[in-house]
Every structure is written in C-alpha cells, then in structure tokens.
Amino acid sequence: MIGPKFSVAAMLLSKIEATMKKVFMLALLALVTIPFANARQNAQPKAIVLTHVTVIDATGAPAKPDVTVVITGDRITELGPTSGVRIPKNAEVVDATGKFLIPGLWDMHVHVYDKPSLKLFIANGVTGIRIMWGFPAHFELRKEVQQGTLLAPRMIIASTIVDGPKPFWPGSIAVSNEAEGRQAVIKLKQDGYDFVKVYSLLPRASYFAIADEAKKQGIPIEGHVPYSVSAGAASDAGQKTIEHLTGILAASSAREEEYAKGLQEALLNLPPDQKFPSPARIRPLTRLMLENFSPEKANILFGRLKRNHTWQCPTLTVLRSTAFFNDPKFRNDPRLKYVSTEMRDAWDPTKDFRFKERTAEDFELSRQTYQKQFELVSMMHKAGVDLLAGTDTANPFCFPGFSLHDELALLVNAGLTPMAALQTATLNPARFLGKEKDLGTVEKNKIADLVLLDENPLEDIRNTTKIRSVVFNGRLLDRKALDQALAEIEAAAKK
C-alpha cells in the first residue's frame, strides 16, 4: 500500500544523493592538500603528554591547576598532579602552563553536505556532531573517521526526515497515515540510522503511530514537535529531543487550543502551490501566542519535560539568525570567508523560500518571538530541563564549528553558568547518548577528545574560541596545523 510513495521518496533521495556524492567528490579533490585531512594514525602511537595544565573536566568540579595528562592512542591513560605523573619514554610532551583543558565539544544539531564543513568542526574543537538529516553517504564518512583516514568529528546520524503527506522539504519520507508511519520506522531502523527524525507537518495519528512503532523497534524519535501535537503530548509519547523549542511557546500559551486550531485551519486550506501558510496568515496567530504567554503553564510543561527526560536542543543560533536575517549588519560576518560560494548564495533572504515573503513586520515579530524563546531557555534551565547545545549549521549564518561557540555564549546570556553551558556541549551529549563511560569529561580512561585553550572559559565562555590545540583520534593538532587547515578551507571556499 505504501510502495509507490516510498519509491517516489527513494527516487528523490537518490537524486539528492547523486548531487551530494558530486559535492563530496569535489570537496575531496579540493582538500587533498590539507595536511591533517587523510593522514593515517601510526601503527604504534606515541604518547602525548600535556604538563602543568589547568583541567576543567566538565563534571562540574572546580578547575584543577597544574595537572599532567597522558594520552596513549585515543585514551587518557593517566591524569593527576604534575609532580605525581610519570612521563612515558618518547612521548610528545607539551608544556601547557597557563593553558586550560576542556573536553572536545559536540554540536548536537547540524546538517552536513560537504567535507570542508567537517574540517571546520575539528578546527573549532568540535569533535562530535549529531547530523539531523542523514544520508547513506554519511555512513561512509563515519567509517572513514573510525578507520582514521578522515579527520572529522564523531557522528550520530539521523534518518531521512519523516514528514506529513506534503513534506516541507523535498526528499523527506511522506507519511499520510498510521500504517505508513510504522512502515517508515521499520525501514529506517533497518537502514541503520541512529534515530528517526520527525518533522513539523506529520498528521497527529501518524505521529503517535511512529512514536509507538519506534518504541517497539527500539529506535529513538527526535526532531520537531509537529503542529498537530502539543509539546507535552510529544514528550509523553517518548520523543527524545525537541529541536528549536518547537511547540514549546504554543504549549505555554493560555490560548493554546485556539492557536492550534487556527494553525490547523491555515494548513488545511493552503493554496495548492504552497507548503506552508503565508506570513500574513501566521502573523495574528503568532501574536495570539505571544500575548497570551503563561509562565505558569510553561512551568507545568517544563516539569513534564523533566520527568519524561525529554531533551531540549534550543538552537538559539539558528533562531537568532532567522530572526535577524534581514539585518545587513548581522549578515556581514567575517566568518563568511570559510563558507562555499554555493552556500553563501543560499544564505540570501531574497532567495530562501522560507523568508522571501517576509515583511519588516514579520521580522520584527520573529525578533519578539526570539526574545521570548530566550526567556524560555532560562526558565527551562532553572526548572532542571536537560539542554543540549546545537546550532543548525548549514542554515543561514550558522557556521560549521564556529557557531557552536556562539551557542555557548547565547546559553550563558540566557542565564546558564559558563560550566552549565560547557556541559550542554560535553557531559550532556555524553549522557544523552549513553556514552558517559567514554566521552563528555576529562577523566582517566576516557576517550581523549580534548581542546586546549589559552584562557579560562569559566571566567568568560567566549574563551572557548581561544583554541591552542585540539586532541582527536590520538593526534595533537597545534595552532599552526589548525590555522593551516583554516587557510586551506578559506582558499577552497573562494573557488
């Protein structure tokens, strides 16, 4: 019954894959000169030793000064006061006096379409990513990382987007009913994806069937809260993450039902050529939602999210960039030099179908919404809701690698301590992934994904950008190697 629909989706997908493969190939050619791009690890790795370093282990403990860290292969094999740690023979010893060591960072919401982006993550100390729209090509990349032939972050790979009968993005799996929803989950689980990415236009019954089937199949569902479902109900259904605070503001409105009804009506009565209601249609609904914000209702919802262990990946970076997309000052980011011409072209508000029709009034309204979302993050943090740092990079002005540091600073602005913000990109992702034994903190026997900083990030979170070196896959990439990589990416982006 769902055969034809799947084959259409598959056709679209293979088209996208073909394009992606081309992009990957081009990127590969452009990058062969990057020194750390494809160097294989030595068979007999020599130890790397950082002496006299201040360790910020991200467990929440205070910074520990004058520590020596021994890294053998890809593990931390010794860690303790410098006076008490024996340095192995032939080790690569780095005097890290005055420097600060933190765990490698995770960006928990990214889109990756080329290899240079992957390099940008590493060059910015981002050693792990959660890819939010997975393609078979990502499995190949992950294999290369595991084999040590590609220096790119560790990857968690989402499924193809699963959306309603008329998906927002071409290439998504279109689901119209419960049977199709279950079938999609079974297929995606078989394909080996780490989780099912659910999206905004899923019909209510299909969504709950997906959630139920996912439980049976033992695969998490993560993504947007669909417009047809309230955030609390999605949390109760077991959705593991909510991205971009989708559904949160609506569910925190004293007039939630009215808002939801209005939105459903607008979605049901779309002109045939439109995927989404026009800004004019949405405007009064957004106002209704904002003007009837109920802190009481929000806090009840946050209690529910906490109880259900529903993780929030607010992606303040993309919420901000889409709200300020029409501001030329915002669009003049010096980091654009690392972004390919194609991507820069796509980051044009007049070309993006999502923003084309927006007026100054709409942008003003989206800034008010952003302000409110900022408050929500602060409230959620106080209420003990689990947070993950994510950027939605590849979206306009969300820069691979760089923007994770923006996100940390935004989270501190929203009221998190620098330690709590740091944990959203280190300890929390490890907990979320059930990998606390291996990742997330700087401790003995853990995997040595590490970032060495020139200044203390607990004093000012923006110090996470002052990267001296990155340790990943048993290798130390010093500032010179990182700068060289950045220069190569910049040169490649000009072509």
- Comparing CB distances to Zn ion, the nearer of 172 and 441 is 172
- Comparing CB distances to Zn ion, the nearer of 132 and 263 is 132
To Zn ion, the closest distance from the beta carbon of 223 in angstroms equals 9
To Zn ion, the closest distance from the beta carbon of 111 in angstroms equals 6
Binding part of the chain for Zn ion, among 49-57, 208-216, 391-399, 406-414 by CB under 5 A, reads 391-399
- Comparing CB distances to Zn ion, the nearer of 200 and 469 is 200
Number of residues that bind Zn ion (CB under 5 A): 2
Binding part of the chain for Zn ion, among 151-159, 195-203, 208-216, 386-394 by CB under 5 A, reads 386-394
To Zn ion, the closest distance from the beta carbon of 401 in angstroms equals 16
Binding part of the chain for Zn ion, among 13-21, 48-56, 200-208, 390-398 by CB under 5 A, reads 390-398
To Zn ion, the closest distance from the beta carbon of 195 in angstroms equals 13
Binding part of the chain for Zn ion, among 68-76, 134-142, 387-395, 396-404 by CB under 5 A, reads 387-395
- Comparing CB distances to Zn ion, the nearer of 130 and 446 is 130
Distance of CA 285 to the CA centre of its chain: 28
- Comparing CB distances to Zn ion, the nearer of 114 and 449 is 114
To Zn ion, the closest distance from the beta carbon of 261 in angstroms equals 27
Which is it for the CA torsion 301, 303, 304, 310, positive or negative?
positive
To Zn ion, the closest distance from the beta carbon of 68 in angstroms equals 40
Binding part of the chain for Zn ion, among 123-131, 208-216, 297-305, 384-392 by CB under 5 A, reads 384-392
- Comparing CB distances to Zn ion, the nearer of 132 and 221 is 132
Q: At what angle do helices 360-383 and 316-323 cross, to 10 degrees?
A: 160
Residues facing 197 on adjacent strands: 161, 222
Contact with Zn ion (CB under 5 A): which of 392, 406, 449, 488?
Answer: 392
- Comparing CB distances to Zn ion, the nearer of 132 and 412 is 132
- Comparing CB distances to Zn ion, the nearer of 34 and 202 is 202
To Zn ion, the closest distance from the beta carbon of 183 in angstroms equals 24
Report the largest interatomic distance among the alpha carbons of the chain, rounded to a whole angstrom.
Answer: 73
To Zn ion, the closest distance from the beta carbon of 390 in angstroms equals 8
- Comparing CB distances to Zn ion, the nearer of 187 and 197 is 197
- Comparing CB distances to Zn ion, the nearer of 37 and 132 is 132
To Zn ion, the closest distance from the beta carbon of 10 in angstroms equals 22
From CA 336, how far away is CA 339, in angstroms rounded?
5
Closest CA to 195 of 171, 159, 225, 160: 159
Non-local CB neighbours of 287 within 8 Å, separated by 6+ positions: 365
CB 137 within 8 A of CB 118: no
Interface positions, 124-153, toward Zn ion (CB under 5 A): 132
Instruction: By CB under 5 A, tell whether 16 contacts Zn ion.
Output: no
Residue 119 vs residues 209, 284, 337, 366, 484: alpha-carbon distances, Å:
39, 43, 14, 32, 11
- Comparing CB distances to Zn ion, the nearer of 137 and 481 is 137
To Zn ion, the closest distance from the beta carbon of 252 in angstroms equals 22
The residue behind tokens 């259409």 is 8
To Zn ion, the closest distance from the beta carbon of 334 in angstroms equals 24
Residue type, 55: V
Binding part of the chain for Zn ion, among 121-129, 204-212, 254-262, 388-396 by CB under 5 A, reads 388-396
- Comparing CB distances to Zn ion, the nearer of 183 and 424 is 424
To Zn ion, the closest distance from the beta carbon of 354 in angstroms equals 12
The residues that touch Zn ion, with contacts defined as CB under 5 A, are: 132, 392
